[in-house]
Amino acid sequence: MKNQIIGLNIKSLRKIPILGLLLMISFFFPYIEIKSEGIRIAGYRLFLETMNRLNDGGNYIVFIYAVILGIFILSVILSSIFVIVKPGKKSVILSICTYIFNFTGAILILFTITKTINGSGLLSIKFLISYLSSGYWIFLFGSLIGLILSLRAAKMNPGYIILVIMGIIWVFPIAWIIMISFRLESGSYTSYFWPKEFTFKNYLVLLTDSSKFPYLKWFGNTLFVSVFSCALTTFIVLSTAFTLSRIRFSGRKLFMNIVLILGMFPGFMSMIAVYYILKGMNLTQSLIALILVYSSGAAMGYYIAKGFFDTIPKALDEAACIDGATKWQVFTRITIPISKPIIIYTVLTSFMSPWADFIFARVIMGDDYEHYTVALGLFTMLSRENIDTWYTRFAAGAVLISIPIAILFITLQKYYVEGLSGSVKG
């Protein structure tokens, strides 16, 4: 083998055939071991056995297993030989493909083997994963290591493997919500992930049948509340932050300290009192009450915007003042136009919060379905008496609110990060 090949990591490359040999040996280890029955089958025998049974008219899934197993052996041999004989880009890529195939294949076997064996009636007892023996596990982890080695050899980052696995874990619950929303069978606890039948009915019922839960109305309510509370919040945050950043007045530090202290009490500790104050104003069970509650405390979130305003040079204001601008003009004509990131951040976060909050909405709205917000309404669908019929529709409703928010969020992600990192610096 040559000592240097451009674009490849020779050290890892040399290890690939060694690993391949190890994987070959694993076929002589027991793949299945059931001590109570005295069964012990090595990998190669598993292959031969299934081939034999095929002649006796075994079912086709067993045949597929045998083929996969055969391809495993064949591909490992081929790619190892190829790497030894012709070390280069092509052989490494072949090796990567081999091990991706082997690894996913091994995982696939792990998740299907019990169903197949139990379904095929080969065993008199129920097959369990714990019956899989050393040979199989060597093969599983060996192919993972082989994948890492091949990626290394190709000077690619093995981090892809972690990213793919993590990506699957993170996307899975969301993908599952979407699947549930298209599921025909109702009920919340299902033993399977893949729906038996797909349908659009959940969406249709949710959007058209408002006799029990008026989803469209809730959607409109939430939109109404979030638009107005977002406008009010943005105004409050910007004006508070601007004043505290730019104007020096007596009581400024006092105000900042009071706000700091207020922020340390748990937010909904006072919800009962808020409820009675709203009742005194004759505003309970109305959307205006929600707007007031969501935006009235906005001044407490001035920090991030103030931090941003602090970085705008004072000279800019002073120059404008010399030219005869009033402070109001400085605020509206100079500060606001150059504060786009922070305005978008404030708008985004305040627009999103009514879609997710349910505590205040629940306290204020009571049982007045007509005035519910989406979050509260969706939560009611999961109450004990509704969950069986409404679970799939709940999923559909959740998907419907998540889509616009997700789009908004992903397109404005840049500003969100800027705002967040503003808060990190404290």
Which is closer to another protein, CB of 261 or CB of 322? 261
163 sits near another protein (criterion: CB under 8 A): yes
Shortest Å distance, C-beta 226 to another protein: 12
Shortest Å distance, C-beta 420 to another protein: 5
Contact 305, 423 (CB under 8 A): no
Residue 101 phi, psi dihedral angles, 5° rounding: -60, -45
Shortest Å distance, C-beta 156 to another protein: 6
Query: What residues between 321 and 340 interact with another protein by CB under 8 A?
Result: 326-329, 331
* Both structure tokens of 341: 């990131």
Query: What residues between 273 and 302 interact with another protein by CB under 8 A?
Result: 273-274, 276-277, 280, 292-293, 295-300
Work out which of 64, 108, 270, 368 binds another protein, going by CB under 8 A: 270
CA-to-CA dists, residue 177 to 358, 395, 408, angstroms: 20, 6, 20
Which is closer to another protein, CB of 81 or CB of 163? 163
139 sits near another protein (criterion: CB under 8 A): no
Which is closer to another protein, CB of 63 or CB of 416? 416
Shortest Å distance, C-beta 106 to another protein: 14
Contact 271, 360 (CB under 8 A): yes
Work out which of 55, 173, 337, 383 binds another protein, going by CB under 8 A: 173
Query: What residues between 191 and 230 interact with another protein by CB under 8 A?
Result: 191-193
Which is closer to another protein, CB of 124 or CB of 311? 311
Residue 363 phi, psi dihedral angles, 5° rounding: -65, -40
Task: Report the half-sphere exposure of 285 (CA within 13 A, side-chain side).
Answer: 5
Work out which of 165, 216, 262, 319 binds another protein, going by CB under 8 A: 262
- CB-based burial, 375-401: b 16+ in 10 Å, e otherwise: bbbbebbeeeeeeeebbbbbbbbbbbb
Stretch that binds another protein, among 12-20, 200-208, 212-220, 357-365 (CB under 8 A): 357-365
* Both structure tokens of 64: 């597929």
365 sits near another protein (criterion: CB under 8 A): no
Contact 364, 289 (CB under 8 A): yes
Nearest to 304 by CA among 249, 357, 244: 244
Stretch that binds another protein, among 34-42, 50-58, 76-84, 406-414 (CB under 8 A): 406-414
Cα 388–Cα 392–Cα 393 angle in degrees, nearest 5:
105
Cα 345–Cα 349–Cα 355 angle in degrees, nearest 5:
155
Shortest Å distance, C-beta 206 to another protein: 14
Alpha-helical (H) ranges within 154-251 are 159-181, 201-208, 215-246
Work out which of 109, 230, 361, 378 binds another protein, going by CB under 8 A: 378
Shortest Å distance, C-beta 322 to another protein: 14
Cα 62–Cα 70–Cα 40 angle in degrees, nearest 5:
65
Number of residues that bind another protein (CB under 8 A): 114
Q: Identify the three-state secondary structure at position 394.
A: helix
Residue 6: left (phi > 0), alpha (psi -120 to 50), or beta?
beta
409 sits near another protein (criterion: CB under 8 A): yes
Work out which of 121, 313, 322, 383 binds another protein, going by CB under 8 A: 313
Binding mask 89-118 for another protein (x = CB under 8 A): ---------------------xx--xx---
Stretch that binds another protein, among 4-12, 51-59, 91-99, 265-273 (CB under 8 A): 265-273
What one-character-per-residue DSSP string does 24-42 give?
HHHTTSEEEEEGGGTEEEE
Work out which of 253, 318, 319, 333 binds another protein, going by CB under 8 A: 253
Query: What residues between 48 and 87 interact with another protein by CB under 8 A?
Result: none
Which is closer to another protein, CB of 25 or CB of 162? 162
Shortest Å distance, C-beta 330 to another protein: 9
Q: Which residues contact 58 (CB under 8 A, 6 or more apart)?
A: 50, 120
DSSP 252: H
Distance CA 294, CA 230 (A): 9
Which is closer to another protein, CB of 152 or CB of 371? 152
Work out which of 259, 283, 334, 336 binds another protein, going by CB under 8 A: 259
Contact 220, 207 (CB under 8 A): no
